[in-house]
Amino acid sequence: MPPLRFPIPQGTLDMLILQILSLESAHGYGIAQRLEQISRSVVQVNEGSLYPALHRLEQKGWLRGAWKQSETGRDAKFYSLTPAGRRQLAVEKDSWARLSDAVKLIFDEGGR
Amino acid sequence: MIELFNWFRRRSLERGLDRELQYHFDRRVADLTANGIPESEARRRVTGELGLANVREEVRDIWLTRWFRDFLYDLRFSGRSFMRSPGFTAATLLSLALGIGATSALYSLVDQVILHALPIRDAARLVLVDWKGDQVAGGFGSWNLMSYPMCRDLQQQTQFFDGVFCRAEIQVNLSAGGDPKPVAAEVVSGSYFPVLGIGPALGRVIEESDDAAPGAGPFVVLSNDFWQTEFGGAADIVGRKLLINQHPMTVVGVATAGFHGVDVGAVPVLWIPASMYAEAIPGADEDLLRRPTFWMQILARLRPNLTPQRAQAGLQPWFKAWLLENMVRPGFPIITADRRRQYLASSLELTSAPQGHSPLRRSLSQPLWVLFAATGVLLSLACLNVAGLFLARGSARGREIGTRLALGASRGRIGRQLLADSVLLALAGGVLGVAVAPLAVRALIVFLPQEGAASALRGTLSLRLLAFAFFASLAAGLLSGLAPALHAGAGSLVSSLRERAGTGFGGVRLRKCIVTLQVAFSLILVIGAALFVRTLAGLLAKGPGFETTGILSFAIAPVQNGHSRADAGRLVRRIDEEVRALPATGKSGAARYAFLTGGSWNNQMIIQTDRRIVTGNVNLNAVSPGFFSTLGIRILAGRDFDTHDSRPAGTLGLRSAIVNEAFVKRYLAGRDPLGTHIAVGSGPDAKADIVIVGVCTGFNYRDLRDNSEQAFFPLYESDDSGATFYVQVRGTPEQAIPSVRRIVRQADPRLPILWFRTLDNQVNRSLSTERLLAALSGSFGALALLLSLIGLYGVMSFVVIRRTREIGIRLALGATGASAVRLVLRDAVTMITAGMAIALPCVAAFGKLVQAQLFGVTATDPGTVAAAALTLAAGALVAAFIPAWRASNVSPTDALRLE
């Protein structure tokens, strides 16, 4: 039986992509792999939703795509964070932190 | 915006996405095979994971939002299908371009003449201050006249106004080194520029100090346009000396570009302070700054948050006191108790005037609105025509649409496709229309009456015009696409698939409604055209009541060239005599004021018989001996003036008069007019010492509709400011012009001749509004007729094709060809009658609006209406007869085989 994996929560995919790209630029396949590695295989990313998300973020101006040679020697489209994307990541991190704090507070109260 | 950009680079976007997905695919497959999964199995699994088709669609939706993508595809599809049927496309495009072009051109004029606010700060707060009631004191100028002292007094009313100014349009002789030439100018109070908020582009504008005392400001401000065209935008223009009516004045500045004064019909090239009135208006020999003479318009800037109504109500108590105070001003006439009562009952009227003041607007706004409405009707007609054509095309595309519906397209989606068709066409038509609109506007301006109009109005594209044309096109597109789109949403799918191409999706009832409306609209336009053409023809046939062929007129204004009035009188007499002696001329005469220019010298008069009668306003003029015979105006009783009637130079006053028939009929009915004593003016001090020596036939003074009472005095009374000469020429007028020029140059080498015009030309000029209405409504009517006849023909042909089988059966069963014709014509007659039934009440309702523009015919004149209706009916029957005749020739066997 495969290990139990969460489907990725709605709306957090964008944030995770921004977080991954804040460390270094990567191509789509790389991002998909890193998503799995970082979340220690507990988050399941539907590959079908990765590319629409990348293009949406690119259109919003948070990512920039450029064709570069990849580790296999073939050209791949590498995405990197724009300054606007970096600001957006900060905003999302902040609101995520507040949301999870709030949820935790509610759970703690309920447990007492 | 980025979406539009994406549309144009969608190929490279697609290629990029393909490469990107391919890379992912290959890497994933490679990883899986490295883990020992067979390649075919790996490929299958990755394909499932990725869902390539879905990913592509989702990403495309991000590039271009769904509706936008659909819309663009619709447009592309429409464009392609239009390319495939160029005949259809050309027909619809042309109808829409005509409609939109005509509407835009008229809108441009309406906007410039009527709607456009002055290019000043906060124009909405500008009001015109006008006098309602009996002003008593005399005046000169166009409309809404007030006095200069009144403006000064209103300036104290600071609880209502942030500023008050007055202005008058005049003509001056300007010379900047060369020969003087007449130019339009504006005399303004010192508050004019500050209140309007107009600053200088160079130097300074006219300020309060320039207008502090008579003669205080021998300065002028040039308009930006004039500075550019006349002085080439010279940087050293400030400080230059100009001669205004031979008086030196200094240019102190140039006004901001784009400011053309407050009157759209009279664009000044320069502004002169009111303090210089004596130099600017040589005819004025009284103290215009102190006397209550009415010669300027007063405009004011309301305080914020004050409506014209509230300010008007608030001003009345002050105005009542002012009226009493004004009666002791120097120059206030002595009046009867009755008139004093009327005078004291006067009130002030404040009207919002963000567009400034303009006699041109006053005379043109009604004709322009009428024509604008007519173009609106024409545009709707064009839309109806396009809608009809679309329905016809829709019926040809019935199978295509049926198939698309069967394949799962929603009816809304197909309706949207059809709407995209018409919007695309209308926008293309709009572009064409806008391309021709400036030409059309320029052509229209030629029709316009006043000389000022040509310089003031522009045939250029403005942002407002473009916006109007865009919205008109969009509306036209939606309007003409609505019926076909709605139609596509109705009807049974199965039957449409079963029917043969070319017969399904008829929309016959819809098309009949459209044609009925077209008939109604075009009848309205045709009746309008007939009315205006009859008006023009009637006026032309009637003529001005005097001889016009072979008569040349020209005008001079010697006092504007530094002559005294006595001098000017002598000069006019000398030129008159010398012109008459020329070999190229016959009789000649002169008048102080030109005829048929729209204006007049007028005043009340007193007739002294056994009692004292005060007349209404009588149109007055001073003419030379021989004037009447030159123009072929008959003297019915008494005699023409002779040289003894003119007083010798240096003495003032009138001694004899000739009145017209209308004057005698209204004021002296049943008496012998000859020998009756009259006076000009109406005060108790007016002495009736002028003797009527003759009666002349009536003729038109102001314009061809004018039937006023008139009185004439002898010219050369030694107080003449200028004159218009009327000369019978032998041969062409052009031959006489050089010798006339020579005579004027000998009399004063620097005196400009204001104009040379034949009287025929003058009559034509005075009819320019009527000509504009007749020509435009005539062409609109003809176009409308053509459009509706084409529509009728189209729908009838269609009906015949649809009923071919039915008609064939009828014929096979023994019906005659004539009965087939009747069958089809009955349909047509129903539509025509219904259209007329809609149109006639509309004509009756709108008739009142155009009545003022008509002459010799009422708006509901039965003859005209009947003639127009008959023309339309005859044309329509012919248009319907052709398909009907085709129906009667249907061969029964062919018709039955059609199935």
The interface predicted TM-score (ipTM) is 0.84
Q: Residue A99: how many CB atoms within 10 A of its CB?
A: 10
A87: containing domain: 6-111
Partners of residue A74 in chain B, C-beta under 8 Å: 23, 26
How large is the C-alpha radius of gyration of chain B? Answer: 37
Query: How many whole angstroms separate alpha carbon B655 and alpha carbon B657?
Result: 7
pLDDT tens digits for range A35-64: 777 666 666 667 778 888 888 888 888 999
Q: Provide φ and ψ at B384, rounded to 5°.
A: -60, -40
Kindly list the residues from chain A whose CB atom is less than 8 angstroms away from the CB atom of residue B20.
Answer: 27-28, 51, 76-77
Measure Cα distances from A97 to A93, A102, B611 in Å.
6, 9, 105
Judging contacts by C-beta atoms under 8 Å, the chain B residues touching residue A28 are 20, 23-24
The DSSP code sequence of B152-218 is HHHTT-TTTEEEEEEEEEEEEEEESSS--EEEEEEEE-TTHHHHHT--EEEE----GGGGSSTT---
Q: Compare CB distances from B51 to A27, A48, A72 and report the shortest one's residue.
A: A48
Distances (CA, A) of B374 to B125, B524, B525, B846: 33, 9, 7, 11
pLDDT of residue B327: 87
The shortest C-alpha distance from B20 to chain A (Å) reads 6
* In a domain? residue A1: no
Helix A12-23 to helix A28-38 angle (10° resolution) is 100
Averaged over B875-894, what is the pLDDT? 84
> Residues 54 to 73 of A: which have CB under 8 A from any B CB?
55-56, 59, 65, 70, 72
Please report whether residue A50 resides in a domain: yes
Question: Which one of A77, A78, A79 makes the best mutation probe of the B interface by having the most chain B beta carbons within 10 Å?
Answer: A77
What is the rounded CA–CA span in Å between residue B153 and residue B134? 19
Q: Which residues of B touch A70 (CB under 8 A)?
A: 23
Does residue A10 belong to the interface with chain B, where contact is any CB pair within 8 Å?
no
For B309-360, how does the pLDDT look when each residue is reduced to its tens digit (9 = 90+)? 999 999 999 999 999 988 888 778 777 888 888 899 999 999 999 998 888 8
Q: Does residue B238 carry a pLDDT above 90?
A: yes
Chain B residues within an 8 Å CB radius of A65: 16
How much is the average pLDDT of B818-847? Answer: 89
Q: Is B63 in Cβ contact with A59 (below 8 Å)? A: yes
Entry field: residues in chain A? 112
- Looking at chain A, which residue has its C-alpha nearest residue B22? A76
**Hey, of B13, B23, B26, B28, which one would you mutate to test binding to chain A, going by the most A CBs within 10 A of its CB?**
B23
Helix (H, G, I), strand (E, B) or coil at B813: coil
pLDDT tens digit string along B142-190?
A: 788 999 999 999 999 999 999 999 999 998 999 888 888 889 999 999 9
Q: Indicate whether A38 belongs to any domain.
A: yes
Read off the pLDDT band of B488 (50, 70, 90).
low
- Condensed to tens digits (0 to 9), the pLDDT of residues B528-559 reads 999 999 999 999 988 898 988 889 999 998 88
Hey, are the CB atoms on A70 and B23 less than 8 Å from each other?
yes
Q: What is the pLDDT of residue B697?
A: 92
CA–CA gap between residue B107 and residue B87 (Å, rounded): 30
CB contact under 8 A, B23 and A51: no
Question: How many domains are there within chain A?
Answer: 1
Rg of chain A over all Cα atoms, to the nearest angstrom: 16
B-contacting residues in A 24-53 (Cβ below 8 Å): 27-29, 32, 47-49, 51-52
Residues of B with CB under 8 A from a CB of A: 2, 16-17, 19-21, 23-24, 26-28, 49-51, 54-55, 58-59, 61-63
Query: How far off is chain B from A61, nearest CA to CA, in Å?
Result: 11
Tell if the CB–CB gap between A77 and B16 is shorter than 8 Å. Answer: yes
DSSP state for residue B544 in the 8-state scheme = S
CA angle B891, B893, B899 (to 5 degrees): 110
Q: Answer yes or no: is A85 within a domain.
A: yes
Instruction: Report the pLDDT value the prediction gives residue B464, as an integer from 0 to 100.
Output: 85
A18: CATH: 1.10.10.10
Residue A92 in any domain: the answer is yes
**Min CA distance, A28 vs chain B (Å)?**
7
Mutate to test the interface with A, among B13, B57, B62, B69 (most CBs of A within 10 A): B62
- What is the model's pLDDT at position B874? 92
Distance from CA of A49 to the nearest CA of B (A): 7
Percent of chain A with pLDDT over 90: 14
- The answer on pLDDT for B399 being more than 80 is no
Alpha-carbon distance A106 to nearest alpha carbon in chain B (angstroms): 37
Mean pLDDT of B789-811: 82
* Contact between B62 and A48 using a beta-carbon 8 Å cutoff: no
The answer to whether B377 and B72 are in contact (CB under 8 A) is no
Give the pLDDT confidence score for residue A49 in this predicted structure. 82
